[in-house]
């Protein structure tokens, strides 16, 4: 590009001039920061004395948390899948399952999900079903783990 050429307009402006409708922006479906485990100390607390639910796809660790609702942490290592695209697919499935299951809030529980190598070869539908079973198992164990209070009454 030389000094005499004007800069190119953004693609959205070109679409508007060409008669094509502008692209709609999707609403952000990201988990809010308050629904994620972000610090090493938070993960460490869950690893200390967890409730465990395990199958061939996932090992789910949970600990009653001090937050307002459920929070999610994931540890998807390169041992699960060498390719980043495979690890990202697994993380997307975990986040979406968590979001669907706890959309209306839930108990104050911190979850850490540890996927196993078998996740790579299993379709998303089976991964969703596996995670749904884990969420149900952990929540069923909660009344025993929660301190005395109105929930146990």
- The span from the CA of 128 to the CA of 149, in Å, is 32
pTM above threshold 0.85: no
Whether 23 shows a pLDDT value over 70: the answer reads no
CB 98 within 8 A of CB 37: no
Q: Rounded to 5 degrees, what are φ and ψ at 2?
A: -90, 175
Please answer whether residues 28 and 93 qualify as being in contact, where contact means their C-beta atoms are separated by less than 8 angstroms: no
> What does DSSP say about strands 71-74 and 109-115: parallel, antiparallel, or unpaired?
parallel
Question: What are the domain boundaries of the chain?
Answer: 32-136
The pLDDT, as a whole number, for residue 3 is 65
- Give the pLDDT confidence of 98-150 residue by residue, as tens digits: 999 988 888 899 999 999 999 999 999 999 999 999 999 999 988 665 554 44
Query: According to the model, what pLDDT value does residue 103 have?
Result: 82
- Per-residue pLDDT tens over the stretch 45-80: 999 999 999 999 999 999 998 778 899 999 999 999
* pLDDT in the model for residue 17: 62
Q: Considering only the top CATH level, what class is 32-136?
A: alpha beta
Give the pLDDT band (50/70/90) at residue 152: very low
Please state the three-class secondary structure of the chain as a single string.
CCCCCCCCCCHHHHHHHCCCCCCCCCCCCCCCHHHECCCHHHHHHHHHCCEEEECCCEEEEEEECCCCCCEEEECCCCCCCCCHHHHHHHHHHHHHHHHHHCCCCCCCEEEEEEECHHHHHCCHHHHHHHHHHHHHHHHHHHHHHCCCCHHHC
């Amino acid at each position: 590009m030389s000094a005499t050429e004007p800069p190119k307009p953004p693609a959205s402006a070109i679409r508007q001039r060409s008669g094509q409708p502008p692209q709609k922006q999707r609403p952000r479906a990201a988990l809010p920061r308050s629904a994620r485990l972000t610090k090493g100390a938070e993960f460490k607390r869950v690893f200390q004395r967890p409730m465990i639910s395990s199958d061939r796809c996932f090992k789910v660790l949970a600990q009653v948390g001090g937050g307002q609702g459920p929070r999610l942490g994931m540890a998807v290592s390169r041992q699960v899948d060498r390719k980043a695209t495979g690890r990202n697919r697994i993380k997307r499935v975990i986040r979406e399952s968590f979001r669907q299951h706890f959309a209306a809030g839930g108990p104050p529980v911190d979850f850490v999900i540890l996927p196993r190598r078998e996740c790579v070869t299993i379709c998303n539908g089976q991964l969703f079903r596996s995670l749904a079973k884990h969420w149900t198992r952990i929540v069923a164990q909660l009344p025993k783990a929660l301190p005395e209070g109105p929930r146990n009454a």
